[in-house]
Amino acid sequence: MSQALDDRSESIRMIRDSAGAVAPRDGDTKRVRALRFVEPGFSRDVFAEMGALGWIGLAAPEAAGGSGLGMSEAVALTEELGAGLAPEPLIPAMLSARLLAAAEDKALLGGLLDGSKVVLTAWQEKADSIAVPGTGDAPRMFIPQAGGADAFLLPVREGNRIALVALEAAGSDLVLEKTMDGGFVGTLRADLSRGSRIADDVGAVVEQAIDEAALATAGHMLGLMEKAFELTLGYLKTRQQFGRIIGTFQSLQHRAADLKIHVSLTRAAVESAAAVLDDGATGAVRQAAVSKAKHRAVESGMYVLRQCIQLHGGIGYTDEYDVGLYLRRGMVIMNQYGAAALHRRRFMALAPEDVE
């Protein structure tokens, strides 16, 4: 057991180190700022580098060409990318990789895993939902960075089964909207007659993949709040007012201590949920663990991000100062794969006696 834990710790350390190639924690934000509000909102070259590093297939089975690692590694990676504000749609791509591995579509999966193809899953039909109705002719909404997609995957319900259809992005009816962090989300009105059926039933897999994406998003939020808190501590230690470093004011020290507690609680919730999934949890156990972590990450994350802006004073509200970029990203991802209230309701329904 000790050797297994040591191996996992080393794997996670290596994943964190590799993230520095794309999103160094101490790097500047010039790349991120240059991509804001410019379609497609991310770099295809960086996405390809993510593929080359094995990130897109991190949790996909080795037999399908993935790395076969677990959610502990995945949340460590998305945490680092959150801290670095990487805008590339890695989490949606990881979800697609899980579905393509289940569908055994080697051609499309191969292009996605090596980063040469951006394949996104269009599953959401209404706001704040983690259900997959699979309505054939329904518009698919809130597809992150959809303007850069080469292909879409559409779950389509057929009785008690959910088939999977692949659709080329070229020629699709896709409408993009800007998000406040400088990215884009798309609404796809798909013509299924143009698509190719690649799997007869991925219902169980898509539910699991969405849970994994929700947990990975919680890891991303953890990275945002941790880095914003780090920037804020640096500001408190250098900013002077009334002839004193403002970090010496007791009231601000108390507020900073409160934020540190929220960061620590979020880390505990996210890493605990990842361990539960890595132990093979399914069904209600998996869902409860994910919902507990996602609720905690969003509630604490948004609290910390907003407090960090306030602790920076007037400069925190300017677009030129980096801490505001973290709040804007948090406001975009907070509802992806289910809002805090949705996950709290699901957790209460599954584990009502285990409330934080």
Q: Is the dihedral of CA 340, 341, 342, 347 positive or negative?
A: positive
Domains identified in the chain and CATH numbers: 204-350 (1.20.140.10)
Q: Residue 355 above 50 pLDDT?
A: no
pLDDT tens readout for residues 85-139: 999 999 999 999 999 999 999 999 999 999 999 999 999 999 999 999 999 999 9
pLDDT tens readout for residues 229-276: 999 999 889 887 777 887 777 888 999 999 999 999 999 999 999 999
Selected residue with higher pLDDT from 242 and 332: 332
pLDDT at 320: 86
pLDDT at 256: 94
User: Is 52 exposed, middle or buried (CB count within 10 Å of its CB: 0-12, 13-18, 19+)?
Assistant: middle
Task: Report the predicted TM-score, pTM, of the whole model to 2 decimal places.
Answer: 0.95
Question: Do residues 65 and 110 lie in contact, with contact meaning Cβ atoms separated by under 8 Å?
Answer: yes
Q: How many CB atoms lie within 10 A of CB 61?
A: 14
Mean pLDDT of the residues in the chain:
93
pLDDT tens readout for residues 17-55: 989 888 888 888 999 999 999 999 999 999 999 999 999
Q: Residue 356 above 60 pLDDT?
A: no
pLDDT at 145: 98
Q: Which residues of 85-119 are buried (b: 16+ CB within 10 A; e: fewer)?
A: bbbbbbbbbbbbbbbbbbbebeebbebbbbbebbb
pLDDT band, residue 318 (cuts 50/70/90) = confident
